[in-house]
């Protein structure tokens, strides 16, 4: 299984890296544009944590948003493309277990998410000072978040039968949950009802825990965030593994 998973993982990493201008550079540019627009407009009008400027506050949110969106896009786009073009049959006839599929697809998603996030961080550091107060949280939430979204991408790729279904899943599920997770604002600044609603969104805990690693402060305890994100990651991984094991919509 290890050799098969390693080969498929290499193939998946090579797939997105061969078009890195589109899969890595373009998301970095998008995040920089968000920073320039929101940072310039709101720097003097929005107050967040003590002694933390709004632009500095915004950078970790944009980094984590890029990690999540690109991890999801990697596994979901790869699977749906293979299903539509018909080359998925070459994987089905190979002696690969569902664990090998999962490790390869989700592993490649984590690599792409972390690569894009690192690129966003390196570029945006020119615009505001940033330090790593508790770096362990940065690594933990980046990897768990990318792993969860990679697993969700597998689920979406298995479920979708055409590109517009995949686009609907991304536009009506992933994008709203990402943008309403506190990327551009502190949840503490919201009215009580919207704070409570935000706490039902697992993406909020990913963003908040990741931001904790930079500033040493957060809206909720990082241990609570770890429990929510870890549980959500296990749930998404379990669903993806089950669907792969039964061959959901890939074995006809």
Give the C-alpha distances (Å, rounded to integers) separating 207 from 136, 138, 141, 194. Answer: 14, 10, 8, 17
Is the distance from CB of 27 to CB of 66 less than 8 angstroms? yes
Q: What percent of the chain has pLDDT over 70?
A: 96
Q: Distance (Å, rounded) from C-alpha 95 to C-alpha 88?
A: 13
pLDDT at 9 over 90: yes
Element (H, E) at 31: helix 26-42
- Band (pLDDT 50/70/90 cuts) for residue 244 is very high
pLDDT digits (tens, 9 = 90+) for 153-207: 999 999 999 889 999 999 999 999 998 898 988 888 888 888 888 999 999 999 9
- Read off the pTM: 0.92
**Rounded mean pLDDT of the chain?**
91
Is the distance from CB of 39 to CB of 184 less than 8 angstroms? no
Q: Distance (Å, rounded) from C-alpha 67 to C-alpha 69?
A: 6
Q: In the numeric block, which tokens belong to residue 209?
A: 């825990």
The pLDDT of residue 38 is 83
Q: In the numeric block, which tokens belong to residue 33?
A: 């544009």
């Amino acid at each position: 299984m290890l050799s098969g998973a390693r080969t498929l993982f290499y193939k998946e990493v090579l797939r997105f890296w061969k078009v890195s201008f589109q899969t890595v550079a373009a998301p970095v540019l998008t995040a920089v544009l968000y920073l320039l627009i929101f940072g310039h407009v709101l720097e003097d009008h929005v107050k967040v944590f003590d002694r933390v400027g709004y632009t500095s506050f915004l950078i970790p949110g944009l980094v984590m948003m890029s990690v999540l969106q690109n991890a999801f896009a990697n596994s979901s786009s790869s699977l749906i493309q293979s299903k539509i073009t018909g080359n998925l049959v070459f994987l089905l006839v190979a002696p690969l277990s569902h664990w090998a599929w999962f490790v390869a697809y989700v592993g490649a998603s984590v690599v792409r998410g972390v690569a894009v996030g690192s690129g966003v961080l390196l570029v945006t550091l020119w615009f505001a000072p940033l330090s790593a107060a508790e770096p362990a949280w940065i690594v933990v939430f980046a990897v768990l978040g990318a792993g969860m979204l990679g697993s969700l991408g597998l689920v979406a790729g298995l479920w979708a039968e055409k590109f517009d279904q995949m686009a609907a899943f991304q536009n009506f599920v992933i994008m709203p949950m990402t943008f309403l997770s506190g990327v551009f604002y502190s949840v503490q600044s919201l009215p009580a009802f919207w704070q409570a609603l935000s706490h039902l969104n697992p993406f909020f805990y990913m963003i908040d825990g990741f931001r904790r690693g930079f500033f040493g402060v957060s809206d909720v305890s990082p241990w609570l965030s770890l429990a929510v994100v870890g549980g959500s990651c296990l749930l998404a991984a379990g669903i993806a593994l089950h669907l792969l094991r039964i061959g959901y919509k890939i074995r006809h």
